A and B are shown apart, each in its own frame.
Chain A
Amino acid sequence: MTVAVVWKEIESRVAAGERFAGLFATRAADGQLVLSAHVARPGGIDTLEAALSADAVSYPALTPRLGAAFWYEREIHDQFGVIPEGHPRLAPLIRPGSPEEHALARHVAGYGVFTIPHGPVRSGVLESIEYLVETPGEEIPHLNMRVFYKHRGIEQRYQGMTAADGVLLAERTEGIASVAHALAFCHAAERIAGCQIPPAAGLVRVLYAELERIANHLDVAVRLADAAGLAVATARFALHKEHVLRLVSRMCGSRFGRGVVVPGGVSAPPRIGPAEIGAELRRLEPKITADAAALMATSSLLDRLRGTGPLSGERAREHGALGPIGKASGFTDDDRLGRPYDAYPSLGVLPGRAHSAGDALARLRVRWEEVEEAFRLLWLAAALLAERPAEPLRIRCDPADGRATGWAEAPQGEVLYDLTVAGGRVARCHPRSASFHNLVLMHEVFAGDILTDFPFIEASFGLSIAGVAL
């Protein structure tokens, strides 16, 4: 198909309610540059492709038709130098270049407007990113981001790896969502190999994935409480998060659930039995629930979140905003519901309440609902696991040749892997994190917000920069 035909199809499918899920390019063996777009529909994710001839230096950009492609086309430009004609701004995104290359003209002109460069070494223990805040002093009429500082060459590193090694790299692609990345990678590998994991392994996977979700949402609560200067609340949520990480480490030895998910199932059953996991959940859940309720009744925090960093429902739908950011703006597309995997079909994930405010407060409400649902799923999974007889948790899974996409719902939203295997080795692996897809929306949510709202908006997004500048 030609580029124009593919773009038209994406446009019409998005207009019909499907979701644009990503775009990347691959240099094929014959020199052609293949553009691959992902479109999520109920039940699965489709890949649409268009090939450019080997000597093509440009193609008509998708971004003017579909704003969500903005960063994807910049990334393709960074990697292959091919120019998307009509793209509004082709500044480097993920590759660190010379300072001149990255010189950005200020967007907002006017009396007294200046730029605050914030980063990449920022105050606090944070990942490296540079924010360029254009401001006349208080308001933030425009924000720019430079994410390339942390670029690690992950995509190139996958090439030539076995599936067993690839999953180790997937766990380290976005470390705070290790389990979700490992799941998405393994789902792709399992689809290629055509293997069905044992049902008990699916339940174990859910245990780790939902604990990871709780830990991430608690981390957002810590950062929001810290930004509001609520010292006790900060300490309480940090304590709960530590307990969740310790539970994970008692189950598998790693506080991030690493080494558990492998192609074909899980590497080992949890080291502590379902009864002990249940006992720990019984200790944790009431404390987290009570502190969350107290936080949602603390007006000094709520005042800072209400109306802060709003994302309209229309923009969320158009962009296909993932995870809690999308849900808070009324756009819900949860892979556990729409494209369920592992044990989720049998557990039955309940959709959360409908939200429409789209502000930082709505995002926090969504996170608490997800925590509540995560506990319910944990209870169910632990109970079902306790009833099952001892059985192998892993089957042989050696993907030989083929290509497939795999997905998983990380705490940040959907993680998507497009994996090609040739001769038992990874020929191409393109991971797309929810952080990459969602971070670009930070450009748009500063309507009327001021400098002191910045930490609240950033924390309410709850993203990881590691997943952005792969």
Chain B
Amino acid sequence: MSLWVLRGLRDGVVTTRWPGRPDAYADSWRGPARPLPGPADPAVEGLCPTGAISVTGGAARVDQGRCILCGRCVAERPDVFAWSAGATGPGAAALTRDQLIVPDTPETDAAVEAARARLAGRTAALRRSVHVRHVDTGSDGSEEWEIQALLGPVYDINRLGIFFTASPRHADVLLVTGAGARGMAGPLRTTYEAMPDPKVVIAVGTDAVSGGLLGDGQATSGGIGATVPVDVWLPGSPPSPFGILNALLIAVGKLADGRQEAR
């Protein structure tokens, strides 16, 4: 055993200082696609395999909740689209589904403010010690890897007072991955109902937000919004561990969302 104790000291401290200090890896992350200011022709709508792009009034909008980060629009039309920069910036988690459709509108801003106030009222008591339960409703498996990474030495969420729990009875936050497989609707509902109030639900990944490439089909329900009420929407295919960490901190009111700050 002493062998492992010494090994544990080999690389010094590897844990990120984020959110206290900036993290270069988080900032270098490539988030969902966003439209650049300027005119766009309707032909760009056909670029997206998930139909995330719409053109109204000669300007393009991107529903980042549908973006699977394939990069086709950025590669084919760099004059109209770009990546959003950073894991915790403008491409990060949102407080309403509409907030993911960029550029957003004044109506969205008002709805986001209302959502923020509702969430703050519920999570005021959770800030020091947060317990998280995860449910997979038909993910591709990569989201689980990224959530597990939070428990590793690099992200180490325990330092922020966040812990994973096996029992929904002890959970404050529900992290849901996957496109909303119909076979998981019952277990997801049961888990949600077993959690004590107040509770917060985070949709982790584009699949959980909108169903992604699978959409609303015979076997999936186009995301988890149809089964449980979602408070925080996090796009990504899969999102980065920093993005998930950021969403958790937004959910419990420790951080304002990067979308608002970036404006």
Residue ranges of A at the interface with B (Cβ–Cβ < 8 Å): 96, 120-121, 123-128, 148-154, 156-157, 164-165, 168-169, 172-176, 178, 219, 222, 230, 232-233, 235-236, 238-239, 241-242, 245-246, 249, 253-256, 258-259, 267, 287, 290-291, 294, 297-298, 300, 464-467, 469
Among B56-64, B98-106, B107-115, B148-156, the stretch that binds chain A is B148-156
- Nearest A residue to B175 via CB reads A125
Does B141 contact A124, Cβ atoms closer than 8 Å? no
In the complex, which of the residues A176, A259, A469 contacts B71, with contact meaning CB atoms closer than 8 Å?
A259
In the complex, which of the residues B145, B166, B214 contacts A152, with contact meaning CB atoms closer than 8 Å?
B214
Does B8 contact A121, Cβ atoms closer than 8 Å? no
**Per-residue interface assignment for chain B, residues 131 to 154, with 1 indicating a CB less than 8 Å from any chain A CB and 0 otherwise:** 000111111111111111101111
- Nearest A residue to B5 via CB reads A232
Contacts of B49 in A (CB 8 A): 165, 168
Apart from A174-B140, A298-B4, list 12 A-B contacts with CB within 8 A.
A121-B135, A125-B144, A126-B144, A128-B137, A128-B138, A150-B136, A150-B139, A150-B178, A175-B238, A178-B142, A222-B152, A466-B141
Closest 8 CB pairs of A and B: A96-B183, A153-B219, A175-B140, A175-B142, A123-B166, A238-B152, A232-B4, A232-B8
- Nearest B residue to A176 via CB reads B141
Contacts of A230 in B (CB 8 A): 4
CA distance A230 to B179 in the complex (A): 34
Instruction: Knowing A150-B178, A153-B218 are in contact, say whether A125-B148 is a contact too (CB < 8 A).
Output: yes
B53 within 8 A of A: no
Give the total number of A-B pairs whose CB atoms are below 8 A apart.
Answer: 170
12 contacts between A and B (CB under 8 A): A124-B166, A125-B151, A148-B183, A149-B181, A149-B184, A150-B137, A150-B183, A156-B217, A230-B4, A238-B154, A255-B240, A465-B141
Does B214 contact A464, Cβ atoms closer than 8 Å? no
- Nearest B residue to A173 via CB reads B140
Does B149 contact A156, Cβ atoms closer than 8 Å? no
Contacts of A174 in B (CB 8 A): 140-141
In the complex, which of the residues B7, B140, B151 contacts A236, with contact meaning CB atoms closer than 8 Å?
B7
In the complex, which of the residues B145, B147, B184, B240 contacts A128, with contact meaning CB atoms closer than 8 Å?
B184
B217 to chain A, nearest CB (A): 5
CA distance A290 to B7 in the complex (A): 10
List residues 168-201 of chain B with CB under 8 A from any CB of chain A: 168, 178-179, 181-184, 187, 190-191
Does B25 contact A246, Cβ atoms closer than 8 Å? yes
What bracket does the count of chain B residues touching chain A fall in?
35 or more
Interface of A is mostly: helix
CA distance A266 to B159 in the complex (A): 40
CA distance A152 to B181 in the complex (A): 6
Does B153 contact A239, Cβ atoms closer than 8 Å? yes
- Nearest A residue to B152 via CB reads A238
Instruction: Knowing A128-B136, A156-B217, A157-B213 are in contact, say whether A149-B183 is a contact too (CB < 8 A).
Output: yes
Q: Among A148, A150, A173, A253, which residue has the most Cβ atoms of chain B within 10 A?
A: A150
B42 to chain A, nearest CB (A): 20
Does A127 contact B141, Cβ atoms closer than 8 Å? yes
In the complex, which of the residues B71, B134, B141, B187 contacts A175, with contact meaning CB atoms closer than 8 Å?
B141
